[in-house]
Structure 1
Amino acid sequence: MTNGEYPGNDDWRQVPGTQNQPPSQPQTGGFPAYGAAPTGGVGPGERYAGPTPTGQFPTAPQTGQFPPTAPQTGQFPAGAQPPWGPPPDSPTPGATPPGAPAPAPKSGGTGKKAIVAVAAVALLAGGAGGAAGAWLANGSGNSSSQSTTVASGPTMTEQPAAEPGSVQETAAKVLPSVVSITVVVGNKSGSGSGVILSDNGVILTNNHVISAGGGSPASQILVSFNDGSRATAKVLGTDPTSDIAVIQADKTGLTPITIGKSNNLSVGQEVIAVGSPLGLEGTVTTGIISSLNRPVSTSGADGEESVMDAIQTDAAINPGNSGGALVNSAGALIGINSAIATISGGAEQSGSIGLGFAIPVDQAMRIANQLRSGGTAEQASLGVTVRPSTDVTRPGAQVVTVVPGGAARKAGIPEGAVITQVDDRKISASDALVAAIRSYAPGDTVKITYYVGSQTKTAQVTLGAS
């Protein structure tokens, strides 16, 4: 590894709940090990994420598969009865009438039933309408027909106006600033989302969206806008380490998104995710911030590993949301949706289970501004390689080597020290340290708390650049 924050080849990283030993078997019902994709590949524009890795990088997700066709609605599955069922006296379809001989079995069958899953929406009709009449008997015994009138209240054909700060108002503000991105690399393709940074077509997205072909240059990038228009785009810069990319669409007169802040967020804060899950452009989902500073390791189609200092949200995020916007209730961008945790069962893969992760906007914009000007992205570096602490009662990131001339060496942090805190942030594992350091910019000064033996020490460290 080149960034000075990863452990060596002999290292493994701890999964929460283990006793500092890599698990021999994946845990049922938990995250896939280190965010590995389930067998059978993953859809384009998707990353699987786990909380911490387990000692090896996963096989890179396969790309080039389009999302499954969206289920059609408004019809019953083939052969299904209407929701109200057959008439009471009608025979069950396929049943043998009483007294009739049983039909002979069809030849060529195996005796097994083929089960086909069909997605459908059944609309339940609420009864038969029409004019109602009442036959009333008068005092003389004669019958007469008397019509009745059904009383009705006022009607409203207009929808209520969006209230300030509502999801409705925020969605209307944000949707014009979020795009769908389709990438073609040779005979492979992928899709994702992006956010507009300038009116002349600068768009921020994930590196793994642009790298749909496994790292090869894209032969075509097509951007679809909220107004239905489309334009081709070119890559301005990518950074696999932070999973950030910037592209330039051949279109002007666009609506840039409002840039917010991510260093003052709160757990429980309401958020909105906007993007194109499964190719469904302009999709809006809502939720809250479930956790902050969550260290999440992912691997994209190009095989590049990224560790995010992530915002965790329960807003529904699915394949295709990658690169899209996570905004606050005012419509300001606070994160770039990038990864989801999934529960894998055999060759099946699930969508959102309420565990989505976004790159904080402060970090994303710092990298994006370097890339859009043609520069090279720089990450903050402590100048050490680390592994999890071997003392299960005192978790932290144990320093394996100190890079000569690096930030830690200048601050006097020795090999063997176990780092337990960066500023006010607790460090429980090596990935937590990587994520914490990457949340800063090169040149920032941080307080590192560590222990050597029984002594606890602190050091003021000016972070370098990798």
Structure 2
Amino acid sequence: MSADPLDSYSATVIRVAAAVTPLVAALEMTGTGRAGRRTGGAGSAVLFTSDGYLLTNAHVVGGAASGHAVFADGTSTAVEVVGADPLSDLAVVHGRAPTAAPADMGDAESLRVGQLVIAVGNPLGLSGSVTAGVVSGLGRSIPVWSGRNRRVIEDVIQTDAALNPGSSGGALADARGRIVGINTAVAGVGLGLAVPINATSRRIIASLLKDGRVRRAYLGLVNTPVQLQPSAVVRTGRRQGLLVVEVLPGSPAERAGLRAGDILLKVGQVSVSNAESLQKLLFAEAIGEPLDLAVLRDGTELRVVAVPAEMTENQ
């Protein structure tokens, strides 16, 4: 008699939970901003180095400079903020070196829609909480509000693994226990989002560790991957592009004449087919430099020149 499929599923979740839970801390940030107002927030953080560096969300850190992390086994440490990048919603904090080995960081580029993922965090103050689900979508680009300012977080992972307040900054792991994302937001019932661990986010983390910040070029697009129609494939020689869902007002993209409904095919000499392929072209070296864009609009291929600006807190 064959084994119950649920047993295999349960065994995988149990194994990953046992490996990842000790590496996820409950994080509470403290600080004082203007007019004596409290800054920072509460969430989760993932240990990713042997000398006490933890990865979390920029929105969890907020404006705080320090805080406190408590691991599932009850050990705790004071932490100091190393750096934060609101555009990717990633931040690094540093505490006392732990006794546990750090997380095994994976690569979200290997993820496929429908793949099993396990989320570990501290929702509603319940430490070491584990939920499981599947990858519901990849390459998402979402607008978020920071005070009165609007930002775009690119290339997020969409999952139906349950996330709740306090899950932010926690781990999203694959079936082998590798961290493939940092949970960032709850977008609605059955809809959670996570920042992927990939080449771009590794570059961001390295910049935070080195300089405490990330200089980013800014176009001001909300986009999503799209498959081109057969007729467009014949004309352009490309099968995929980035559909422009929204052009943010006053952005370099608006000044260049880009419109919602355009399909971005190439940036410079590089074809773009997902948010990461665009994002990794928009680091410091692109600021202020003319950027040639190949765009498909109403079936016609156009050339547009945009000049990325530096990402600021007002964008």
- TM-score, normalised with respect to structure 1: 0.50
Letter in 1 for 2:91: A
Structure 2 CA distance for partners of 1:421 and 1:221, relative to 1, 3 Å: same
In the alignment, residue 41 of structure 2 is paired with which amino acid? G
Residues 264, 296 of structure 2: 8 Å contact kept: no
Question: Match for residue 269 of structure 1?
Answer: 115
Q: How does 1:284-299 map to 2 (within 5 A)?
A: 284-299=130-145
C-alpha distance in structure 2 between counterparts of 1:308 and 1:266, whole Å? 18
Q: Which consecutive residues of structure 2, in runs of 5 or more, have no partner in the other structure?
A: 1-6, 224-231, 233-242, 266-270
Residue of structure 2 equivalent to 1:209 = 60
Deviation at 1:340, TM superposition (A): 1.0
Shift of 1:447: 9.3
Alpha carbons of 1:175 and 1:462: their partners in 2 closer, same or farther (altered >3 Å)? Answer: farther
State the secondary structure of the residue aligned to 1:255. coil
- Summarize deviations over 1:345-387 as a string: whole Å, max 9, x none: xxxxxxxx11000011124332111111235313355xx5569
> Hey, what's the Cα distance between the residues in 2 that align with 1:202 and 1:399?
35
2:112/2:135 contact within 8 Å kept: yes
Structure 2 matches for 1:316-335, cutoff 5 A? 316-335=162-181
Equivalent position of 1:230 in the other structure: 76
What is residue 4 of structure 2 aligned with on the other side?
A: none
Note the 1:156-305 alignment, pairs <5 A: 166-186=12-32, 188=38, 190-211=41-62, 215=63, 217-218=64-65, 220-300=66-146, 305=151
What is the alpha-carbon distance in structure 1 between the residues aligned to residue 308 and residue 56 of structure 2? 27
Greater relative CO, 1 or 2 (CA 8 Å, sep 6+):
1
**CA offsets 1:392-427 (integer angstroms, 9 cap, x no match):** xx9746799896xxxx9xxxxx9435540343638x
1:420 corresponds to which residue?
Answer: 263
1:206 and 1:302 mapped to 2: Cα distance? Answer: 19
SS in 2 for 1:263: helix
1:365 equivalent in alignment to 2:202 = yes
Relative to structure 1, the CA distance from residue 461 to residue 203 in structure 2 (aligned partners, 3 Å threshold; closer, same or farther) is: same
Amino acid at match of 1:256: P
- How many angstroms apart in 1 are the aligned matches of 2:174 and 2:161? 12
Query: Matched residues, percent identical?
Result: 31
Following the alignment from structure 1 to structure 2, what is the Cα–Cα distance between the partners of residues 318 and 246? 21
Match of 1:455 in 2: 300
Native 8 Å contact 1:298 1:306 kept in 2: yes
Give the secondary-structure state (helix, strand or coil) at the position aligned to 2:208.
Answer: helix
Aligned residue number for residue 113 of structure 1: none
**Which letter does structure 2 place at the counterpart of 1:450?**
V
Aligned amino acid, residue 365 of structure 1: R
More strand by share: 2
1:324–1:440 distance in 2 versus 1, CA, 3 Å: farther
CA distance in 1, matches of 2:126, 2:55: 19
Tell me if the contact between 1:289 and 1:314 (Cα under 8 Å) persists in the aligned partners. Answer: yes
**3-state SS, counterpart of residue 258 of structure 1:** coil
Alpha-carbon distance in 2 for matches of 1:301, 1:462: 26
Identify if the C-alpha distance between structure 1 residues 415 and 305 changes in structure 2 by more than 3 Å, giving closer, same or farther. Answer: closer
Q: 1:377 aligns with which of 190, 199, 214?
A: 214
Q: Distance in 2 between matches of 1:176 and 1:334?
A: 17
- Structure showing greater Rg: 1
What is the CA–CA distance in structure 2 between the aligned matches of 1:279 and 1:304, rounded to whole Å? 28
- Residue aligning to 1:34: none
Partner of 1:307 in structure 2?
Answer: 153
Q: Which runs of 5 or more structure 1 residues have no equivalent in the other structure?
A: 1-160, 343-352, 389-393, 409-413, 427-432
Residue deviations 1:96-149, cap 9 Å, x none? xxxxxxxxxxxxxxxxxxxxxxxxxxxxxxxxxxxxxxxxxxxxxxxxxxxxxx
In 2, Cα distance between the equivalents of 1:462 and 1:265? Answer: 33
| Compared CA separation, residues 373 and 267, structure 1 to 2 (3 A) | same
CA 439–263 in structure 1, closer or farther in 2 if over 3 Å, else same:
farther
Structure 1 pair 441–329 and aligned structure 2 pair: CA distance change class (3 A): farther
- CA 1:460–1:321 in structure 2 vs 1: closer, same or farther (change >3 Å)? same
Matches of residues 23-42 of structure 1 in structure 2 within 5 Å?
none
TM-score (norm 2): 0.71
Name the CA shift for 1:439/1:270 in 2 (closer, same or farther; >3 Å): farther
Preserved contact between residue 310 and residue 358 of structure 1 (Cα < 8 Å):
yes
Moved more, 227-236 or 304-313: 304-313
Q: Distance in 2 between matches of 1:310 and 1:221?
A: 26
- Distance across 2 between alignment mates of 1:453 and 1:291: 26
Question: What is the aligned-residue RMSD (CA, Å)?
Answer: 3.8
3-state SS of the aligned residue for 1:366? helix
Tell me if structure 2 keeps the 8 A contact 1:180–1:192: yes
Contact 1:399 1:417 in 2 (8 A): no
